[in-house]
Structure 1
């Protein structure tokens, strides 16, 4: 049996000729993933609720020599999502890769957690993934191919005081990812979850700025530090590329070893 040449292996990771939609990619992890996928050859579609922000981000990526368009919609609005996805497919081109990144965080003790915050978490973190995935899959399935990457979290595996509802949404995303695999794998779609550990982003700025928490985290994480958002890109490219064509329904933790130790 002929051993694959290095060039053959590298081609498996190329995203040239593919288009990726990344929800909530106006900043933070979403923007880092958009830049990473574009760097691997994909044409990316930046999504945000704010058109001005999305336009500025797409222009920045184009200035870097990357291919970027925009799609403005709120992931919680089902009809808006459907219309926007149809518009991308018709006017920009087929969506080959979907990254469900849009998400929010709310912190409070569970016994006093506000019902409105609970509902907001469910609407954005879980309903949003369902709405966008369903709308995109309706185009992927007839083509018999597609990659879906759902942003999960170490909190989909481990609980911590103050964020139980957030953890519940991420645990649900892990199971929704398995469900996508169960229903769509035989029809050419690979659906997997990417689970970041603790990364220094605006979403957890309060924790980054807390010396006691940062000290605890660095001692708790085998690599001894916060993650950098660009360190998620390799895993995302893998899950978006042909290199992962037989990987389905899995959650890939990028957490510096946090979930591997006690």
Structure 2
């Protein structure tokens, strides 16, 4: 699947990492439907990108609702004529102690991060299956792979995305649909600035990251572009960390060097 001339949907595409993916795709001559709850941001990005000659259209939608997700994809296909690729980057996070986690907060995070991803995958499925090809990239997280304080709901939602990615990759392979996910590490974005610019937090994370730096949104977008393209034609069901080596191991944890004794 060459990116030029194809149609991609990017949820959460009005800001953050989703917007970085949108920009990377349109630079490669892909038509992009930006799906987001924020009408103001979405319209601003549509206007900005269209003024630069890119083929984009904003669709305001709450993807936590299955019927809304389905209707939104129908509207996108009616507008662009087809859909070839889907990137599920829409997500929310809130930090709450597990013992005090309200049920409504758990419902909100699971419905946005996990159910929204499932709903959009279901919505694009008939169009991709009919065409005999398609590529989907979901956004998991490092929290899909290890635990953390105060992030039970977020980690549960991202762990679920790992499993739905694998299940859909297996179930839809016969229809030529590839389904993969990425697990971003700590990325320098406006939303993450409060954490990444805190001196103590920054020092802790960088000391655990083999590459000793935070990632850039562009680096996430490049990986998503690769997984969507035919360059990744034999890759499906993969959960790819993009984290500077954080999940590979902690470089500060190693035994002391001792003198080796030979007899």
Whether the TM-score (by the shorter chain) exceeds 0.5 is yes
- Is 1:73 paired with 2:61? yes
- Is 1:204 paired with 2:198? no
Per the alignment, residue 184 of structure 1 pairs with 172
Output the CA distance in 1 between the equivalents of 2:37 and 2:43.
11
Per the alignment, residue 250 of structure 1 pairs with 238
Residues 186 and 214, structure 2, Cα contact 8 Å, conserved in 1? yes
State the shift of 1:173 in Å: 0.3
RMSD over aligned Cα, in angstroms? Answer: 1.4
Greater helix share, structure number = 1
Residues 40 and 237, structure 1, Cα contact 8 Å, conserved in 2? no
State the shift of 1:92 in Å: 2.0
State the shift of 1:78 in Å: 1.4
Output the CA distance in 1 between the equivalents of 2:40 and 2:231.
35
The equivalent position to 1:146 in structure 2, one of 114, 121, 134, is 134
Q: What 5-or-longer segments of structure 2 have no aligned partner? A: 251-263
Residues 50 and 72, structure 1, Cα contact 8 Å, conserved in 2? yes
The equivalent position to 1:133 in structure 2, one of 118, 121, 124, is 121
Aligned length: 250
Of 146-155 and 83-92, the range deviating more from structure 2: 83-92
Per the alignment, residue 59 of structure 1 pairs with 47
State the shift of 1:234 in Å: 1.5
Cα deviation, 1:151-184, whole Å, max 9, x if unaligned, reads 1111111211111221111111011000001110
Q: What 5-or-longer segments of structure 1 have no aligned partner? A: 1-11
4+ runs deviating over 6 angstroms: none
TM-score (norm 2): 0.91
Cα deviation, 1:4-32, whole Å, max 9, x if unaligned, reads xxxxxxxx7x4101111000111000000
CA spacing shift, 1:237–1:57, aligned 2, 3 Å = same
TM-score (norm 1): 0.91
- Is 1:18 paired with 2:2? no
Per the alignment, residue 109 of structure 1 pairs with 97
What secondary structure sits across from 1:52 in the alignment? helix
What secondary structure sits across from 1:172 in the alignment? helix
- Is 1:222 paired with 2:200? no
State the shift of 1:210 in Å: 2.3
Output the CA distance in 2 between the equivalents of 1:64 and 1:157.
39
Residues 105 and 203, structure 1, Cα contact 8 Å, conserved in 2? no
CA spacing shift, 1:117–1:203, aligned 2, 3 Å = farther
Per the alignment, residue 30 of structure 2 pairs with 42
